[in-house]
Amino acid sequence: MAKEAFTQKRQLLTNKKLNINTRKNFVKCYVWSVLLYDCETWTINRHDKKKLEAIEMWIWRRLVKISWTERKSNVDVLNQVGEKIILLNTIKEKSGKMFGHLFRHNLFMTNIFKGRINDYKGRGRPRKAYIEEMIKQAGCSRYIEIKRLASNREEWKARFATIRQGL
């Protein structure tokens, strides 16, 4: 859907008469809003990470009209655009903010995060749980650590403040 949003506005986004910063802001406003819709609830595996990095590079390559046949590296494209790969960090930041908010305020959602919904055990390998993803992103090793961290709003915000910059 994000590629579709980009191609709908391709004439505007690839127009060399417009400043590159204007086109980048338009991409972040128009295309990324479609791409990142409801990203706060995603559990991302290795395959999804590759796909997200690929779509981000696809967007930047199309923005400056660099074909893959030109054999330019992703680093060269990012330098030409003047950006870094920040899509995954944006997703982590948004999911961290939402998780902390819901964990502090909503008891029903907290029960869902904890996995206290009675249901049958499915076949096959278990899916990656949202709470496990958040424990890993927060840099905690156990559930009780993330529970204490999320209950303190200032400490939680400080933990997720540096994610977007990739620090």
pLDDT computed for residue 133 by the predictor? 80
**Residues counted in the chain:** 167
Choose from 41-50, 51-60, 118-127 the range with maximum mean pLDDT.
51-60
Q: Which residue has the higher pLDDT, 75 or 103?
A: 75
Q: Which residue has the higher pLDDT, 158 or 72?
A: 72
Tell me how far apart the alpha carbons of residues 113 and 132 are, in angstroms, rounded to a whole number: 9
Contact 24, 30 (CB under 8 A): no
Q: Which residue has the higher pLDDT, 103 or 52?
A: 52
Average pLDDT in the 45-64 region? 90
pLDDT at 30 over 90: no
Alpha-helical (H) ranges within the chain are 2-8, 10-13, 20-26, 32-35, 46-63, 74-81, 87-105, 107-114, 130-138, 143-151, 153-161
Average pLDDT in the 120-144 region? 77
Average pLDDT in the 99-109 region? 73
pLDDT computed for residue 167 by the predictor? 46
Band of pLDDT at residue 117, cut at 50, 70 and 90: low
20-26 contacts, C-beta under 8 A, 24 or more apart: 20/63, 20/64, 20/81, 20/82, 21/82, 23/63, 24/63, 24/81, 24/82, 24/83
